[in-house]
Amino acid sequence: MALIKSPSVFRHSLRWNVSWLFVLSAVLCLFVADISIRSFDPWAELGRLVSGLLQPSMSGLDDIGLAVLQTLAFAMLGVALGSVCGLFLALVFHWRWIRMMCALLRAVHELFWALIFLQIFGLHPLTGLLALAIPYAATFAKIYAEILEEGDRSAFDVLSHQTGWVSAFFYARLPDLWQHFKTYTAYRMECGLRSSAVLGFVGLPTLGYSLSTAFMEGQYSQVWALLILFYLLIASLKYWLRPSLIPVYLCVAPFVISNDQTISFANVARFFTQDIVPSPLLKGESLVGLWQWFADLFMTQALPGIINTLVLSQIALVATGLLSLGLFPIISKQFFGRVGRGLGHVFLVVMRSTPEYILAFILLLLWGPSMLPAIVALVLHNASIIGHLVGRFSNDVRLRQDAPTGINRYTYELIPRVYGQFLAFLFYRWEVIIRETAILGILGVATLGFYIDSAIQEIRFDRAMVLILITAILNIVIDGLSRYIRNRIRLSQAINIR
Amino acid sequence: MNTSIGALFNRTVVSLALVTSVILAPVQADDVKTLVFSAIPDQDESSLKARFGKVADYLSETLEIPVKYVPVKSYAASVTGFRNNQLQLAWFGGLSGVQARNLTPGSKAIAQGEEDPEFYTYFIAHHSTGLKPGEAFPKEIAGKRFTFGSKGSTSGRLMPEYHIRKNLGKSPEDSFSTVGFSGNHSRTVALVESGSYEVGAVNYKVWEKMVAEKKVDTDKVSLIWSTPGYPDYQWTIRGDVDATWGEGFSDKVQQALLDMKDPALLESFPRKRFIPASNEDFIAIEETAKAIGLLDE
């Protein structure tokens, strides 16, 4: 009795409070969000979609073998370049301006990087390579830095002071952390494949090129053939992505992506000295003109864009969390045998490898335009990624021999043990979800990314740059907030242990 | 473990160095420069390479220089490619042509399809709206869910937006409950057919082709209004081609396009034949784009 009355027993953990705070904020966002279901005859188009699935066909598609190779090559090189640069950045990540710069670079979706580099380099392979490598380097920097921060320093601390910096790193830090680096980099390779494929949407010669063409034309047999090919590529990753083979791949890849395009330095110079300079400045107008231009852009595009982006991503974030908690058991050894987990993996691979754009279109046919298809598409995609990561993490959890099974095992044994890790994954995903709201313009949801895309399509790079900068600032704020919350939660865990 | 890390690191560094050298290595230039052309990806994107490859062969034979077709993925990419001299000749829409010529001094429109001086946008509606075809702009579409095609399209965006603003007196965002950009004309038809969007604006040629091929259920979605005619697609060539391929080269290209008589080639566009065009033919498009804020004054 005395125990129950004691307030300390009933005090909720910070994790609990943070979780409910986020759920509450998402519920509040639901009130402002435009969510509705209005549709009449989705079945004709959905019928065509399903009949395409029943008879996938490659006929009519040009050079698919080459597109697969290009997808692989861009992904390999982009991720490799990103990870090497990311490692160097990670070593100096404690410098505030490096952290800010990385958050800024991460804030821009790969597709927008590609659209920017298309302006500068045209279809030169550098466009695709940099569009992948830049945001990936920034992400690698952040995660590698955290791995370094949390890793075991005992070997490093006992080194002689005369030990060179490079030797110290390679002999005393890297060996302990190697496994973490490897696991994370392999995971990013899968992301890299997805990104590489999606870059085809804006004209790179990867799988997404034919996929978006087929999709835009309603050639669903081809769409499914390409998607299945892509699922297989992702699912078989662990069989062909061997550390010993990577140097071979990296040597072949440049030859695969090289083409006969050349870089014009006049174009590069023009991009920086004219294209992205605000038009009032270029026309020699006064500062008042510039301010009006900016204020107009901010009030009519940036502000509504920020609001829509935040509302959409907040709901998607919380729903992603809930769904991934439901999904992770399907690939966990704690719950299913080989066959069950196999099916679980198939489901998760399909969900996370189908471009959100296609998911959103299918849902748009079903429900009509509102935020709902956007939310569900984002949630399905991201929850299957987090579900995959949490599921893998749960495999390493050791339970007692007599641990309960079924729902009791899930609620009393697994959830408490994976929850911290789950929250960490979710907070990492926060900024990704914000970035991904960009590509759902088909739904009539005007996020920041929607306006950036419009500015690029209107060939107004000055506006696109301002909007991209605003997106980046938003991302820096979110990144800081997520870092702060994660630190607080970790602090509370340390106290609990004591 | 350490050695494998070190070895892997070394190999990675070597590979990356190789990458850089291959990518930055300049490619040998041909003796005669290749003319590169493209077309905006507005319809029937599939097997573009095969179809436009034939056009490239025809131009190559007629002009007696190497000609290559390069596909692009968006209107903006075709304009950029042209501006950056990665394309010297392009089959543009009305708006993309104006954008490209504004950004590329000296470039000129040289040919258009016979149909292009009088092009149309159709407004199509889902049957549940009860809207009927008529001569006058259907003001009842106000407040409905509306979708354009691609953001940079003349027939899918510019002209319909112009007529919406003119007749409803408000921007599309204020006129409709939801405004979407489907991405292209055949997506617009699919989305209005499903009722996701109640009204849409579509290139009349795409609509008529889909109806003829029975790719659309006309009980579900039907034509309710046609815009007045406006100039649309055209071939545009860069001004500096004469300097590269010799005096009078752009005239030769124009003549080659006008002489294109093979229906199999014309089918790619699809046009009956090509007729001469000039930059002045598209002033109306430029004025319209400025009026709705798609181009700066």
pLDDT tens track for B130-175: 999 999 999 999 999 999 999 989 999 999 999 999 999 999 999 9
Average pLDDT over residues A455-473: 91
| Closest-CA distance of chain B to residue A316, Å | 21
State whether B14 and A247 contact (CB < 8 Å): yes
For the beta sheet containing B121-126, the strands, ordered from the edge strand earlier in sequence to the opposite edge, are B178-181, B145-148, B199-203, B121-126, B221-226
A381 has a pLDDT exceeding 80: yes
Across the A:B interface, residue pairs with CB atoms under 8 Å apart total 187
- Res A11: pLDDT: 66
**Mean of pLDDT over chain A:** 87
Residues of A in contact with B6 (CB under 8 A): 170
Q: What is the mean pLDDT of chain B?
A: 88
Contact B72 A203 (CB under 8 A): yes
pLDDT of residue B50: 76
Burial of A341-367, coded b for 16+ CB within 10 Å and e otherwise, reads beebeeebbbbbbbbbbbbbbbbbbbb
pLDDT value for A493: 43
pLDDT band at A328 (very low <50, low <70, confident <90, very high): very high
Instruction: Work out the minimum CA distance from A398 to partner chain B, whole angstroms.
Output: 27
Question: Does B25 have pLDDT greater than 50?
Answer: yes
Given a cut of 80, whether residue B2 has pLDDT beyond it is no
- Rg of chain B in Å (alpha carbons): 23
To 10 degrees, the CA torsion angle through A375, A377, A381, A386? Answer: 20
DSSP state of B227: P
Query: Over the range A98-114, which residues count as b (16 or more CB within 10 Å of their CB) and which as e?
Result: bbebbbbbbbbbbbbbb
Q: Which CATH superfamily is domain B120-226 in?
A: Periplasmic binding protein-like II (3.40.190.10)
Q: Report chain A residues whose CB lies below 8 A from the CB of B16.
A: 80-81, 84, 250
A365 with B190: Cβ contact below 8 A: yes
pLDDT range class, residue A168, cuts 50, 70, 90 = confident
Q: Read off the pLDDT of each residue in A361-387 and give the average, rounded to a whole number.
A: 90
- Chain A residue with the nearest C-alpha to that of B41: A213
Among partner residues A45, A175, A459, which is closest to B190 by beta-carbon distance? A45
Cβ A217–B215 below 8 Å, yes or no? no
What's the start-to-end Cα distance of chain A, in Å? 24
pLDDT computed for residue A496 by the predictor: 36
Whole-number pLDDT of residue A203: 84
Please enumerate in sequence order all residues whose Cβ is within 8 A of that of A111, keeping only pairs 6 or more positions apart, or say none.
Answer: A131, A198, A199, A201, A202, A438, A439
Residue numbers in A near B8 (CB within 8 A): 243, 246-247
Contacts of B179 in chain A (CB under 8 A): 444
Q: State residue B16's pLDDT score.
A: 64
Question: What are the structural domain ranges in chain A?
Answer: 11-40+277-498, 56-275
Q: Which residues of A touch B128 (CB under 8 A)?
A: 40
Residues 6+ apart with CB under 8 A from A357: A201, A377, A439, A440, A442
Task: State whether B184 and A175 contact (CB < 8 Å).
Answer: no
The CATH homologous superfamily for domain A56-275 is MetI-like (1.10.3720.10)
The tens digit of pLDDT for each residue in A227-280 reads 999 999 999 988 998 888 889 999 999 998 888 777 888 888 888 888 889 988
Per-residue pLDDT, averaged over A86-104, amounts to 91
pLDDT at B49: 74
If you measure CA to CA, which chain B residue comes closest to A124?
B23
Q: Please list every residue in chain A whose beta carbon sits closer than 8 Å to the beta carbon of residue B296.
A: 279, 460
Using CB atoms, pick whichever of B47, B72, B145 lies closest to residue A369: B145
Which pLDDT band holds residue B24 (cuts at 50, 70, 90)? low
The verdict on pTM exceeding 0.95 is: no
The residue with greater pLDDT, A9 or A67, is A67
Q: Do A42 and B152 touch (CB under 8 A)?
A: no
Mean pLDDT of B38-65: 83
- Closest Cα of chain A to B250: distance in Å? 23
Query: Do the Cβ atoms of A79 and A188 come closer than 8 Å?
Result: yes
Half-sphere exposure of A186 (CA within 13 A, CB side): 16
Q: What is the tally of helices (H) and strands (E) in chain B?
A: 12, 11
- Choice between B23 and A128, residue whose per-residue pLDDT is larger: A128
Of B45, B151, B196, Cβ closest to residue A213: B45
In angstroms, rounded to a whole number, what is the distance separating the alpha carbons of residues A235 and B74?
Answer: 31
What is the ipTM for the molecules in this complex?
0.85
Instruction: Kindly state the percentage of chain A with pLDDT values over 90.
Output: 38
The residue of chain B with its CA nearest to that of A271 is B84
What is the spatial distance between Cα B87 and Cα B68, in angstroms, rounded to a whole number? 10
| Per-domain residue ranges of chain B | 35-117+231-291, 120-226
Lowest mean pLDDT among A49-53, A298-302, A377-381, A396-400: A396-400
pLDDT for residue A494 = 37
Q: Looking at the predicted structure, is the pLDDT value of residue B28 above 60?
A: no
Homologous superfamily of the A11-40+277-498 domain (CATH): MetI-like (1.10.3720.10)
- Is the pLDDT at A32 greater than 70? The verdict is yes
pLDDT tens per residue across span A382-399 = 999 999 999 988 988 888
Q: Cβ A212–B73 below 8 Å, yes or no?
A: yes
Mutation target among B15, B171, B206 for the A interface, most CBs of A within 10 A:
B15
Q: Does pLDDT of A175 surpass 90?
A: no
Q: Report the CATH superfamily, name and number, of domain B35-117+231-291.
A: Periplasmic binding protein-like II (3.40.190.10)
Contacts of B1 in chain A (CB under 8 A): 175, 178
Name the pLDDT band for A15 (thresholds 50, 70, 90). Answer: confident
Cβ atoms of A191 and A353 within 8 Å: the answer is no
SS3 B69: strand
Element (H, E) at B138: none
Does A81 sit within 8 Å of B182, measured CB to CB? no
Of B34, B36, B30, give the one whose Cα is nearest residue B82: B36
Would the CB atoms of B193 and A44 count as touching at under 8 Å?
Answer: yes
Partners of A442 on chain B (C-beta within 8 Å) are: 180-183, 187
Q: List the single residue in A44, A80, A459 with the smallest CB-CB distance to B217.
A: A44
How confident is the model at residue A492, as a pLDDT?
A: 44
A-interface mutation test, from B5, B74, B157, B196, most A Cβ less than 10 A away: B196
Of B12, B25, B85, the CB nearest to A80: B12
Contact A45 B76 (CB under 8 A): no
Yes or no, beta carbons of A222 and B46 under 8 Å apart: yes
> Is residue B194 within 8 Å of B265, Cβ to Cβ?
no
Tokens of A63: 């050079």
